[in-house]
Amino acid sequence: MTSRIAIVTGGASGIGRAIATALAARGDTVTVADIDADGAKKVADRLSAHAKVTAAALDVTDADAVAALYRSVREEHGRLDLVFNNAGIAVGGLAEELTLDHWNRTIDVNLRGVVHGVHAAYPIMLEQGHGHIVNTASMAGLVPAPLMLPYTATKHAVVGMSLALRAEAASRGVRVSAICPGFVDTPLLDNANPDLPATEAATNARRAAQRVQRRLYPAPALARDVLRGVDRNDALIVAPASSRAAWLAARLWPRGAVRVAGLSVRRMGGFAR
């Protein structure tokens, strides 16, 4: 397989690091971008033994910086084959606990950050006549996910945007997919509400996740699923299998999905009023 030119945002840890690692393992040329510049460099240095991997400091809320990075990668390599708009934050809490700061920060990173990536990558891919944009959403973008309304809202938006762009882009040679994982074992669960007011739900995010999904999905396993889904040009890449079952159930019985979500809130304890 010909080496592909890829950018992974949020690549210093978690899902992004796992995707960058999987891309490098098959010989792709990867730019690991993250607001954590030191973390991105550590990942790039480790992976450089297997492939051409470089690091870039990037705040995805800065549209000009995103556009400049994507253009520079295209200019350096002559093309841009794969873009993983993956950077995101976790925000949780009861609806009445959440401030506008919770909402605005989540929208800025999880939605606008993806919009900036799409806005930067899509014209490049249209011009070259090919490319694949992969946006990280969540199972929270497919099913009712209480106790994290801003997160849920942004992930639904990413799913909707990805599917709509996929329909628009298909005849023009550009592919679009959305990643919708269940709970993945990443540092995101231990760093909910970053630089924002703490809530009980955020403080206990890992414990709450394990009550919903007993076994957290390993990030490397998800990365394998993602690359397989990209190779197949799947519209939605949903993993693990338990998440695909939950998604199917929610589609077949929406009212039941809301009821189950409400029961899960009460099972978590300490969050229901």
Domains in the chain, number: 1
Chain centroid, CA 263 distance in Å: 27
Quote the pLDDT of residue 190: 80
| pLDDT above 60: residue 272 | no
Task: Give the type of residue at 96.
Answer: E
Chain centroid, CA 77 distance in Å: 25
Residue 163's CATH number: 3.40.50.720
Mean pLDDT calculated for residue range 82-88: 98
Mean pLDDT calculated for residue range 221-244: 97
User: Does residue 37 fall inside a structural domain?
Assistant: yes
User: Does residue 188 fall inside a structural domain?
Assistant: yes
Q: What is the pTM of this model?
A: 0.93
Question: What gap in Å lies between CA 194 and CA 198, rounded to an integer?
Answer: 8
Quote the pLDDT of residue 268: 62
Quote the pLDDT of residue 25: 96
The tokens describing 259, both together, are 């009821």
User: Does residue 162 fall inside a structural domain?
Assistant: yes
Domain extent, residue 66, equals 5-268
pLDDT higher at 233 or 256: 233
Mean pLDDT calculated for residue range 53-74: 98
User: Does residue 70 fall inside a structural domain?
Assistant: yes
pLDDT class for 209, splitting at 50, 70, 90? low
User: Does residue 152 fall inside a structural domain?
Assistant: yes
| pLDDT above 80: residue 255 | yes
| pLDDT above 60: residue 269 | no
Q: Residue written as tokens 């509400």?
A: 193
| pLDDT above 90: residue 202 | no
pLDDT class for 211, splitting at 50, 70, 90? low
Question: What gap in Å lies between CA 27 and CA 43, rounded to an integer?
Answer: 15
247 in Cβ contact with 238 (< 8 Å) = yes
User: Does residue 168 fall inside a structural domain?
Assistant: yes
- Taking all residues of the chain, what is their mean pLDDT, rounded to a whole number? 92
Question: What gap in Å lies between CA 192 and CA 205, rounded to an integer?
Answer: 7
Q: Find all residues with CB under 8 Å of 51, minimum gap 6, and list them.
A: 3, 23, 24, 25, 27, 28, 29, 30
Which residues are part of the catalytic machinery?
Answer: 151
| pLDDT above 60: residue 270 | no
pLDDT digits (tens, 9 = 90+) for 132-189: 999 999 999 999 988 999 999 999 999 999 999 999 999 999 999 999 999 898 888 7
Where do runs of H (alpha helix) occur along 48-148? 63-77, 100-106, 113-128
User: Does residue 273 fall inside a structural domain?
Assistant: no
Q: Find all residues with CB under 8 Å of 82, minimum gap 6, and list them.
A: 4, 5, 6, 7, 23, 28, 131, 132, 134, 230
